[in-house]
């Protein structure tokens, strides 16, 4: 089988791998993660990764386990190395021995409705209150909030157009009347400040020509939670989780929630059935039925 060499200075291994990922529609975050994992492997190896052997890959995984590296990191490295050897280097047989770690994801942190209200009220100013309200009120990812443009708000159809979301897919998100009113307040304030450009970013950064950064939104959420005296570990994604959980507790069909969140697989949305306290409270324990029979309040089944 032919293999790829990296002797040409204009076609380094890193460049080839980036090209391969771009052609397959990988997002910037995934590309950065894959490159980082390959770089870590090269550092362990002490030489270019395209010179690795099957035994080198095995030694690397043994080393990860001995260092108690987390399952998510190990599995991320497996995905990156499988791509490197299987796609970029055209040596898929190299990665056959890589082992994925099986683990159960942790339950996601969810705010109550009252906690969510307190957090949004504690946001510092109309810009951040509007941005965090979009994350919660439309269930958007932090990167999707940051990259919204003014023209993405469709007040006629009451939709928010999310372009190039996760997986580079476009979708529509819900726009409530309250959220629209809040966004209009921010639009008027932004115009007054001179930061709201025609067809520009809905939430511009400091320069005005660039969008607000995800890091800034993370910091604002944590500061708002502290002011609201919320002691849970929160992030912008917590607002998205809370959006989905609160909808589920209102009785919204999980398939509708799947569409609103932009999930491809219903199993991804299914995690919210594990964190919905109202859903669990709605299920009658079999112990209650037994006690009812013992007390004569229900006929034996």
Chosen domain end from 67, 97, 127: 97
Verify that 78 and 128 share a domain, yes or no: no
Residues in the chain: 301
CB of 115 within 8 A of CB of 233? no
Angle, vertex CA 27, rays to CA 24 and CA 28, nearest 5: 125
* Residue 5: per-residue pLDDT: 46
Candidate list 14, 118, 166, 218, residue with the active-site label: 166
User: Rounded to whole angstroms, how far apart are CA atoms 77 and 34?
Assistant: 7
User: Rounded to whole angstroms, how far apart are CA atoms 298 and 120?
Assistant: 47
pTM exceeding the 0.75 threshold for the entire prediction = no
237 is catalytic: yes
- Which regions of the chain are under pLDDT 50? 1-10, 280, 283
Nearest to 37 by CA among 26, 27, 49: 49
Verify that 46 and 150 share a domain, yes or no: no
Verify that 134 and 247 share a domain, yes or no: yes
pLDDT tens per residue, range 151-180: 999 999 999 999 865 555 778 888 899 999
CB of 90 within 8 A of CB of 3? yes
297: its two tokens: 């309040």
* Residue 99: per-residue pLDDT: 93
Verify that 141 and 257 share a domain, yes or no: yes
Candidate list 34, 60, 128, 272, residue with the active-site label: 272
136 is catalytic: no
pLDDT tens per residue, range 107-157: 678 899 899 999 999 999 999 999 999 999 888 999 999 999 999 999 999
Q: Tell me, yes or no, whether 202 lies in a domain.
A: yes
Q: Tell me, yes or no, whether 233 lies in a domain.
A: yes
CA atoms within 13 A on the CB side of 38: 26
Verify that 63 and 150 share a domain, yes or no: no
272 is catalytic: yes
User: Rounded to whole angstroms, how far apart are CA atoms 246 and 138?
Assistant: 12
* Residue 209: per-residue pLDDT: 82
Chosen domain end from 68, 97, 126: 97
Q: Domain of 126?
A: 113-280
Give 257: exposed, middle or buried? Use CB within 10 Å, 0-12, 13-18, 19+. Answer: buried
141 is catalytic: yes
206 is catalytic: no
* Residue 207: per-residue pLDDT: 76
13: its two tokens: 């291994």
Verify that 123 and 251 share a domain, yes or no: yes
Strands in 159-162's sheet, in edge-to-edge order, are: 153-154, 159-162, 171-174
User: Rounded to whole angstroms, how far apart are CA atoms 163 and 166?
Assistant: 9
Q: Tell me, yes or no, whether 8 lies in a domain.
A: no
Candidate list 91, 141, 241, 246, residue with the active-site label: 141
60 is catalytic: no
- CA–CA distance from 246 to each of 112, 114, 251, 284 (Å)? 8, 11, 9, 20
* Residue 4: per-residue pLDDT: 44
Helix (H, G, I), strand (E, B) or coil at 106: coil
Candidate list 129, 240, 241, 246, residue with the active-site label: 240
* Residue 3: per-residue pLDDT: 44
Verify that 117 and 262 share a domain, yes or no: yes
User: Rounded to whole angstroms, how far apart are CA atoms 24 and 11?
Assistant: 18
**Count of domains observed in the chain:** 2
* Residue 9: per-residue pLDDT: 39
Verify that 56 and 122 share a domain, yes or no: no
């Amino acid at each position: 089988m032919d293999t790829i060499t990296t002797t040409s200075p204009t076609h380094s291994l890193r460049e080839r791998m980036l090209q391969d990922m771009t052609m397959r529609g990988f997002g910037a975050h995934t590309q950065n993660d894959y490159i980082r994992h390959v770089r870590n492997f090269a550092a362990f190896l002490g030489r270019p990764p395209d010179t690795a052997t099957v035994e080198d890959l095995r030694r690397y995984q043994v080393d990860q386990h001995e260092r108690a590296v987390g399952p998510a990191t190990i599995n991320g490295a497996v995905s990156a190395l499988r791509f490197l050897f299987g796609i970029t280097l055209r040596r898929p047989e190299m990665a056959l021995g890589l082992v994925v770690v099986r683990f159960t994801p942790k339950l996601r942190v969810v705010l109550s409705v009252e906690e969510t209200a307190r957090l949004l009220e504690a946001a510092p100013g109309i810009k951040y209150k509007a941005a965090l309200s979009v994350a919660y009120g439309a269930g958007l990812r932090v990167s999707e909030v940051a990259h919204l443009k003014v023209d993405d708000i469709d007040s006629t159809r009451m939709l928010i157009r999310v372009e190039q979301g996760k997986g580079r897919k476009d979708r529509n998100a819900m726009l409530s009347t309250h959220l629209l009113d809040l966004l209009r307040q921010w639009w008027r304030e932004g115009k007054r400040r001179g930061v709201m450009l025609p067809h520009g970013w809905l939430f511009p950064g400091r320069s005005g020509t660039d969008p607000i950064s995800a890091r800034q939104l993370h910091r604002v959420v944590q500061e708002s939670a502290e002011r609201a005296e919320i002691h849970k570990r929160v992030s912008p994604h917590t607002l998205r989780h809370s959006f989905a959980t609160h909808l589920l507790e209102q009785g919204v069909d999980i398939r509708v929630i799947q569409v609103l969140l932009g999930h491809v697989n219903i199993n991804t949305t299914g995690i919210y059935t594990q964190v919905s306290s109202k859903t669990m409270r709605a299920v009658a324990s079999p112990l209650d039925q037994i006690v009812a029979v013992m007390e004569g309040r229900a006929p034996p089944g």
